[in-house]
Amino acid sequence: MTKAIYPGTFDPITEGHLDIIKRAAKTFDHVYVAIMINAAKNCSFTLEERIKFVKKCTKNIKNVSIVSDSSLTVDLAKKLGCQVIIRGIRAVSDYEYELAQATTNMTLNNKIETYLLVAKPELSFISSSIVKEIATYGGDITKYLPKEIWKDVIAKLKK
């Protein structure tokens, strides 16, 4: 059984994230969506909110589980029995960052592979940061978020 982990802060989960999760779930026997706690990032949503959002969006995908952690991704992957780390890339700048991360992870645990999934063109510009910025200025973010959560996200960001 091939298990994969898809780590991120998901602050909030976007249609781009959800597309990567769905595609990974078709490829691997089990996918763990790991909502990571990163002290270097200033999240707009609490860990509990982010977990709730991801659970709502993935509830109908049978081979997906939600976990959270603050350790190194490779350590969590090993603990969960994952052979693969999934990362999504939208642009060349993402590739450069993800290449450095994948190479570092290889030096930490060479038994875990990193698979880069390229974002669909229509989703390649979406990021949690852009969604939050658009919302801050009163723009419509509903097309960038899964329908299960957009009302909750808008309500919080308007405060």
User: Could you read off the pLDDT of 37-86 as tens digits, one per residue?
Assistant: 988 888 999 999 999 999 999 999 999 999 999 999 999 999 999 999 99
Residue 137 within a domain: no
Residue 140 within a domain: no
pLDDT of residue 100: 94
Count how many domains the chain has.
1
Q: What is the pTM of this model?
A: 0.94
CB 61 within 8 A of CB 25: yes
Residue 133 within a domain: no
Q: Which residues form the catalytic set?
A: 17, 41, 90, 128
* Closest-CA residue to 5 (of 126, 101, 123, 113): 113
- Amino acid in position 134: I
Residue 150 within a domain: no
CATH of the domain at 111: 3.40.50.620
Residue 15 within a domain: yes
Q: 102-147, pLDDT tens digit by residue?
A: 999 999 999 999 999 999 989 888 999 999 999 888 899 999 999 9
Give the structural domain span for 15. Answer: 3-124
Separation CA 136–CA 130 (nearest Å): 10
CB 145 within 8 A of CB 131: yes
How far apart are the two ends of the chain, measured CA to CA in Å? 45
Binned at pLDDT 50, 70 and 90, residue 19 comes out as very high
